[in-house]
Amino acid sequence: MLLNNILCVHQVHSSRTRFTDGCYDGLYPGHIHTTPIQKALLAVGSGVAALQNPYRHDMVAVLGETTGHLALINLREKMRNDPEGYTILTERPRIRLSTLNLSEMSSLPDGSFGREYCRFLEDNHVTPDSRADVKYVDNEELAYVMQRYREVHDLLHTLLGMPTNMLGEVAVKWFEAAQTGLPMCTLGAVLGPLRLNPSRLQQLFTSLGPWALHNGRRARCVLSIFYERRWEQNIEDLRQELNIEPPPVILSATKK
Is 232 a known ligand-binding residue?
no
Number of Cβ atoms within 10 Å of the Cβ of 244: 23
Q: Quote the CA–CA distance of 79 and 223 in Å, as a whole number.
A: 7
Q: Quote the CA–CA distance of 143 and 218 in Å, as a whole number.
A: 25
Amino acid at site 201:
L
Closest to 157 (Cα-Cα) out of 146, 167, 145: 167
Is 123 a known ligand-binding residue?
no
Contacts of 180 (CB under 8 A, 6+ apart): 71, 75, 149, 223
SS3 label, residue 159: helix
Is 31 a known ligand-binding residue?
no
Amino acid at site 19:
F
Which uninterrupted H or E stretch holds 184? Answer: helix 183-191
SS3 label, residue 234: strand
Binding residues: 153-154, 157, 169
The binding site for Zn(2+) consists of: 153-154, 157, 169
